[in-house]
Amino acid sequence: MATNNLFAMLEAALPGSTAPGYGRAAEGKSHWTPVCICGHLKTQHAHEHGGDRPSDEAVADNLVFPCCTGPLFRNPLRRNPAFVSVGVVDGEKVALDIEGNRVPASSYATMCYCGEFTPVAEVDRPGVAFRRVGVMGDHALAAGIRALASTVRNRGIQDPDLPPVPKRRITPTEEQLQEIVAARFRWLIADDERKCVRCGTTAAVDPTIYLVYTDLPVGKESEFRCTGCDRSA
């Protein structure tokens, strides 16, 4: 009887909530999250720097490439994870610093050099994407887009040839994958305002305008550049 009363209560409060699959109905609802010029989400930046993360404490992480969580950490003795790369020494996969020296792969402060949250885009339901620390030749924004594509590819899409019930997920084609990712990412800066800082070419003229790191340590400076301008200049 108690069970019946419980279901009756749920139905009265939320009609249809006891039906199978009700909890998954919200999966397709949009939830847009701003992305900073450094390539990371607003949730990875502290309140003190324009983000949503509760505090500005340096948090130790056992990952070699932890996510960006705010500005330069205060303790100069802590090493920024952006310095770390993965290499092979004597057949063993190890963590290396920017000079190629072997370093511990744990207890790094999960901070980056982005001093203030500067939104340039937003992404729909990013999940765990856009939490990578980029490297000199690969901006964190590009890494985030690839991670989002991998999530979509691994999760699959509903088979359009089947009725709503039963449902079956299939691997999307590359064309479908690009359409889905493109629909879940959008710039907050208009094409005619998104321009190369070197030559002034806008994305309205050159759609290949993209974000790059232009200074060391990696992650300290992010700028829009066109393919014709040297990113390291």
Poorest-pLDDT segment among 93-97, 122-126, 127-131: 93-97
Band of pLDDT at residue 13, cut at 50, 70 and 90 = confident
**What are the tens digits of pLDDT across the range 72-112?**
554 444 444 444 455 666 776 666 666 677 665 444 444 56
Question: d(Cα 222, Cα 138) in Å, to the nearest integer?
Answer: 11
Backbone dihedral region of 12: left (phi > 0), alpha (psi from -120 to 50 degrees) or beta?
Answer: alpha
Residue 183 is classified by DSSP as H
Question: d(Cα 124, Cα 126) in Å, to the nearest integer?
Answer: 6
Strands, E, within 90-171: which ranges? Answer: 92-96, 108-109, 119-124, 157-158, 169-170
**What are the tens digits of pLDDT across the range 161-219?**
777 666 788 889 999 999 999 999 999 999 999 999 999 999 999 988 989 887 666 66
**What are the tens digits of pLDDT across the range 15-63?**
776 665 555 444 457 789 999 998 888 888 878 788 887 765 544 444 4
Residue 48 is classified by DSSP as G
Question: d(Cα 219, Cα 141) in Å, to the nearest integer?
Answer: 11
Question: d(Cα 200, Cα 189) in Å, to the nearest integer?
Answer: 15
